Chains A and B, each alone.
Chain A
Amino acid sequence: MIGGLFCYNHKGEVLISRVYRDDIGRNAVDAFRVNVIHARGQVRSPVTNIARTSYFHIKRSNLWLAAVTKQNVNATMVFEFLLKVVEVMQNYFGKISEENVKNNFVLIYELLDEIVDFGYPQNTDTGVLKTFITQQGVKSVTKEEQAAITSQVTGQIGWRREGIKYRRNELFLDVMEYVNLLMSPQGQVLSAHVAGKILMKSYLSGMPECKFGINDKIAMDSKGKPAEESKTKSAIAIDDCQFHQCVKLSKFETEHSISFIPPDGEHELMRYRTTKDISLPFRVIPLVREVGRSKLEVKVVVKSSFKPSLLAQKLEIRIPTPLNTSGVQLICMKGKAKYKASENAIVWKIKRMGGMKESQISAEIELLETETKKKWTRPPISMNFEVPFAPSGFKVRYLKVFEPKLNYSDHDVIKWVRYIGRSGLYETRC
């Protein structure tokens, strides 16, 4: 039970304050400001207990969003809810910023009234919310429409309304993966995992029932032909996954098949995580040499290890520099490199890079001798990139659409599948 929801700007001024339950007093708003936003030391914990009241906060671009409660609630539920609130707001008015929140506060209060009732989160699906909370002025709703909204919000399939019609039935599927890596200077993988999600954009008529097949090891084994398929190694082991509310979980549990009636428009169908057999797209090889007390030589090699036919984009390698750097000279074979004093790092950017290639940068860092004998801790070198494949090996095997009432079949639907691999926290120690 969420007692209330507050939104502050970076100065701690209250932008939005909505209290759902009586046990949250007026001073709760100030308590969070005083004890967290204006705290002397930075508050790292996302959950703060102040005078028997719990505050759960997240930060989004200089805004603080805090849920407050006096009860013993499920903390993960609250954070999930906060993230949903952010998502809903983004869907309504784009980027979350102080400006936007101020401009849309009437809408935000309207949304907050709808998505939480007496502290219990309700429907947070933007698609549904948009049917009755619109941004175009006041529109008188007819009785039938009102009834339709009520039956839909309270009905079994709350995420999709009836009577949707498209001339062209289309369906887009994005497999988006984030690779996280921590590697030792010698090239040993210390930890690696992939967090993936499947985003689906559907423009389908009627109430179509979809069936979705992936190369999950368990699902494929249960299909009865384990011998041949798992030998080809195309199946992957998914550590854990979660689905959009439209997926019928009972069916997934019994038959390992993913079937659902999708919401109209965009939604996140599935989220998953894998830790085994990840194909790492890049390797970073650092070489650091200290020349006396006033100089440091750094050489970094980046090697791509995927099919030469593919092209990685938006590469950015960030090499941290010591805090007493007084000057940097850089030579790089490809791309552009710059010393960014404001971030205490050398940033090396490469627009594109093919598979099975390598590139190198060398830097001479001059140091200023200082009072303190503190040794520089050498933070890891981090990297950002985007590649057109799924590093976990995830594959969409099929996506079938059935709509028994309308006369279009699976073949009439145009389907698009795209794989994107991005860097999460991709770091190499040096």
Chain B
Amino acid sequence: MPAVRGDGMRGLAVFISDIRNCKSKEAEIKRINKELANIRSKFKGDKTLDGYQKKKYVCKLLFIFLLGHDIDFGQIEAVNLLSSNKYTEKQIGYLFISVLISGNSELIQLIVQSIKNDLASRNPVHVSLALQCIANIGSKDMAEAFGQEIPKLLVSGDTLDVVKQSAALCLLRLFRTDPSVIPSGEWTSRIVHLLNDQHMGVVTAAASLIDALVKKNPEEYKGCISLAVSRLSRIVTSSYTDFQDYTYYFVPAPWLSVKLLRLLQNYPPPEDPGVRGRLSECLETILNKAQEPPKSKKIQHSNAKNAVLFEAISLIIHNDSEPNLLVRACNQLGQFLSHRETNLRYLALESMCILATSEFSHEAVKKHQETVINALKTERDVSVRQRAVDLLYAMCDKSNAEEIVLEMLAYLETADYSIREEMVLKVAILAEKYATDYKWYVDVILNLIRLAGDYVSEEVWYRVIQIVINRDDVQGYAAKTVFEALQAQACHENMVKVGGYILGEFGNLIAGDARSSPAVQLQLLHSKFHLCSSMTRALLLSTYVKFVNLFPEIKSHVEEIFVADSNLRSADAELQQRASEYLALSKLTSLDVLATVLEEMPPFPEKESSGLLNLLKKKRPGRVIENPDRLDEHVKKEPRETNGTSGLTLASNTEQEGGSADLLGLGVPSAGNGNGPTTNGAGAVTNNIQKFYCKNNGVLYENDIIQIGVKTECRSNLARLALFYGNKTNHPFMNFQPNVSASPALSLAILLQVKQVDSTVEAGAQFQQMVNVECVNDFDEQPDLNLVYNYNGAPQTVNIKLPISINKFIEPTEMNGEAFFSRWKNLSLPAQESQKIFKAAHPMEATDSTKAKLIGYGFQLLENIDPNPDNYVCAGIIHTRSLQIGCLLRLEPNKQAQIYRLTTRSSREAVSQHISAVLCQQF
């Protein structure tokens, strides 16, 4: 029956409706199994099937496959369909193949042959089908098989436009899988000239292809700029009646315009003044058109128009060279800010964020501040509000900071939970950066904690404390404000932390007022104590012990608190330790000691709150719009301490011997690095290995991206090195492999034990690696540290020495003059002595620094022994596993000649030589 034998495929329709009518999954599977068995028996059957039947069954298989079942037969039939001359059969065959054939199928040869035949066919429909199939499969095999022919098709004169269009898109697909498919050289100009093609469809397809090519190789395709500009100007200046088929709701060729505008964004503004002028003209025309009344009320019309407009604005921003265009774009966007359409408002805010960073349009953007703030308050869509926050952040500068920060704070109360943390960070950064009055800053941050305490990260409140401590003028105000804030019924734990810290430091400044007398302060803080986590409690205990120092009159109250079972016998080891140590401190020690130990914190090194910025970047990777003023500021980045507890163990550190005041995001390296370089110009590489002979802690190595700090602890013949690796960048290090090795000779003398570390270092993060060293025998080399990692895809290596030398194992030995000289004489063999005379590299008058170096080296400085008071005399014992080596040293300065004489004696010849060789470079 010919009626049935049309394209209808009744069997397929029946099958599909059967499946749709199935009540349950099981019924569906049954029906499919039945159909599969039927098709198998049909394909197996000896009688040959005609094209229609094959097409029908292949279609059914395709449908079953799309329902999620595996199909493992029927491929041969599908390939047979390819050689059919009927369009529908060929189409189904290609469809099946592009959906179902896997790359490594045996049939691929057959398929490739069929496709070749079709490509060579004179029927354009067949060629198009073949091209579509190639693009749909898009494998490397396809790229290899047809890489030659498709470009020919694309540029050949007698190919039909429709085919050219397909060829361009197919080539684009193949180019994405295998960039080598596009031949270079002569083809370049021919492909670029496709932009001049008569047929708009071809131009549109070619624009996509060229865009991809340009991204890969901008130089080679530079010729496309002028062509694209002229094409664009032709479209823009035309009226909508010019391109009948390519006018979409009265907008001429919107897709092509957008693509061309995007293409131009791959290049800087054109150098040729003619082209440049034409482009500006185009952009101006587009901006003008936006002002014209709409030609249609339909949404499609305005969508198409706005798409072109936004792309044009992006190009204007990208070029960033024509102030009047930028300002016009900004004004245009300003109109959109109050548009009915939510999408438009969103896009306008987003584009404005970028505009705000341009110097030309920054002022223009600022005019819309009112509207943006209004949007923040009244906008219903959360994503738009988020953009509004971004824009406020971007347009903030000195003149409007106060107002913007206030608005953002006000909004924070009602803000969505999803953006609160980000807003808090932004407010904190803006408040700090543009603070003219630090009272205002303190107010803002305390308000921040009050309004959104949960979202205030550690860094934010660390920062406020740093600033308060560094500024004398706000300390009293801060103490007063936190005291008032703490009086609220319920206050956030972060507020208690800030309050506790500040009152502990500066509580005395407000103690004069009877309303905030010491006892009241203590009582107020302690009323919050039980509601806090143990971290905060630990901090509060430190505050209390500081009160003991500040206000001796309430000492007994404080001691009562320490004695309480919940502290002195707390299950938390940290709390217990603090309580008992502080108790002992306040009970046993004299006032002097107390005052020294609990002295006010020293000021922190000044630095940007880059920690906050990093945090912001981490939260929204790729989305952060810089606040423009940052661009011309000197940006210093310091590694952040990521060790969670370090911030709070401060107070206990202060009473430990040699404790470094390590608080609030100061890394160990920079803290222990008093005389080392704290700032580095861009590109500077610091390798401080020499200095480590005389000190134990500090920055060992630093360049733009990484900082390596060292902390060494030694005891007799054992040493422990803590290596701190800090990532100074915004990208994580991958495959991070520190490798510590010793030369064969050295590995006999010392034993190294290295802890394994993670292979990834997050952006801005810092972590620690422990190295244990045991000295077996004396040595004069240093172990190597080879660091290999990938930064931003590029492999990096750092080769440095580990600062382990024999002097780390010297134990200082005290002795009187008599003992010293008798030993000195005992070591009088020529081999045991090593003497060096050298010019002074540092001022000889700085005896203190010389002494410090000698002590740092490990010796005991014996004073008043040598008859000449100018001479330095030292003694020490080197501990190795097998033996102890006594070392004696005399350093005799000659101030007139500016030279030193250094004499070293020890029981080992090598040791004396090594020590004098090292030390002669230090003075």
Residue numbers of A with Cβ under 8 A of B are 10, 62, 323-327, 341-344, 366, 368-372, 374
Contacts and interface: CB of A to CB of B under 8 A. Distances in A.
A341 B24 contact: no
Contact of A343 (B30, B73, B75, B105): B30
Listed from nearest, the 3 A-B pairs whose CB atoms lie closest are A341-B37, A326-B44, A342-B30
B72 interface: yes
Contacts of B38: 341
Contacts of A366: 44
B31 A342 contact: yes
Contact of A372 (B31, B44, B72): B72
A327 B40 CA distance: 8
A374 B73 CA distance: 12
Interface string B74-106: 010000000000000000000000000000010
A369 B30 CA distance: 22
Contact of A370 (B23, B25, B72): B72
Contacts of A371: 72-73, 75, 105
Contacts of A369: 73
B91 to A, nearest CB: 22
A327 B31 CA distance: 17
Contact of A324 (B24, B31, B40, B75): B40
Contacts of B73: 324, 368-371
Contact of A326 (B23, B34, B41, B72): B41
A344 B105 contact: no
A369 to B, nearest CB: 8
A324 B33 CA distance: 10
23 contacts: A10-B24, A62-B24, A324-B40, A324-B73, A325-B37, A326-B37, A326-B40, A326-B41, A326-B44, A327-B41, A327-B44, A341-B36, A341-B37, A342-B33, A366-B44, A368-B40, A368-B43, A368-B44, A368-B73, A370-B73, A371-B73, A372-B72, A374-B72
Interface string B26-52: 000011011011101101100000000
Contact of A344 (B23, B33, B41, B44): B33
A10 B72 contact: no
A324 B41 CA distance: 9
Contacts of B37: 325-326, 341-342, 344
A339 to B, nearest CB: 8
A342 B18 CA distance: 13
Secondary structure of the B side of the interface? helix
B23 A62 contact: yes
A374 B72 CA distance: 10
B606 to A, nearest CB: 47
A369 B73 CA distance: 8
A327 B39 CA distance: 11
Given A62-B23, A368-B40, 14 more contacts: A62-B24, A324-B72, A324-B73, A325-B40, A326-B41, A326-B44, A341-B33, A342-B33, A342-B37, A343-B30, A366-B44, A368-B73, A371-B73, A372-B72
A326 B43 contact: yes
Interface in B722-749: none
A62 B24 CA distance: 7
A327 B34 CA distance: 12
A288 B704 CA distance: 73
A386 to B, nearest CB: 24
Of B37, B43, B73, B105, the most chain A CB neighbours within 10 A belong to B37
Nearest to A294: B44
Contacts of B41: 326-327
Nearest to A344: B33
A369 B37 CA distance: 13
B44 to A, nearest CB: 4
Contacts of A374: 72
Contacts of A343: 30, 33
A166 B25 CA distance: 49
A326 B39 CA distance: 8
A372 B72 CA distance: 6
Given A324-B73, A341-B34, A10 B25 contact: yes
B13 to A, nearest CB: 20
Nearest to B101: A371
Nearest to A369: B73
Contacts of B105: 371
A321 to B, nearest CB: 9
Of A366, A370, A371, the most chain B CB neighbours within 10 A belong to A371
A366 B105 CA distance: 25
A37 B897 CA distance: 93
A291 B728 CA distance: 70
A211 B38 CA distance: 60
Interface string B791-813: 00000000000000000000000
Contacts of A327: 41, 44
A327 B43 CA distance: 11
Contact of B23 (A10, A324, A325, A341): A10
A144 B30 CA distance: 57
A317 B75 CA distance: 35
A374 B36 CA distance: 18
A371 B106 CA distance: 9
Contacts of B34: 341-342
A326 B37 CA distance: 6
Contacts of B31: 342
A102 to B, nearest CB: 15
A370 B41 CA distance: 13
Nearest to A42: B25
A191 B41 CA distance: 38
Contacts of B36: 323, 341
B179 to A, nearest CB: 31
Of A323, A342, A344, the most chain B CB neighbours within 10 A belong to A342
A79 B40 CA distance: 43
Contacts of B30: 342-343
A349 B72 CA distance: 31
A62 B23 CA distance: 8
B372 to A, nearest CB: 35
B45 to A, nearest CB: 8
Contacts of A325: 37, 40
A363 B432 CA distance: 86
Interface in B135-174: none
B899 to A, nearest CB: 78
A370 B73 CA distance: 5
A372 B100 CA distance: 13
A344 B44 CA distance: 17
A344 B32 CA distance: 11
B73 to A, nearest CB: 5
Contacts of B24: 10, 62
Interface in B103-134: 105
Contacts of A326: 37, 40-41, 43-44
B60 to A, nearest CB: 14
Contacts of A323: 36
A342 B26 CA distance: 10
A369 B25 CA distance: 28
A76 to B, nearest CB: 27
A323 B25 CA distance: 19
Contacts of B33: 341-344
B235 to A, nearest CB: 45
A357 B43 CA distance: 41
Nearest to B70: A372
B22 to A, nearest CB: 10
A152 to B, nearest CB: 41
A334 to B, nearest CB: 26
A385 B846 CA distance: 106
Contacts of B40: 324-326, 368
A135 B649 CA distance: 73
A81 to B, nearest CB: 25
Contacts of B23: 10, 62
A289 B24 CA distance: 36
A366 B24 CA distance: 30
Of B23, B33, B34, B40, the most chain A CB neighbours within 10 A belong to B40
B665 to A, nearest CB: 35
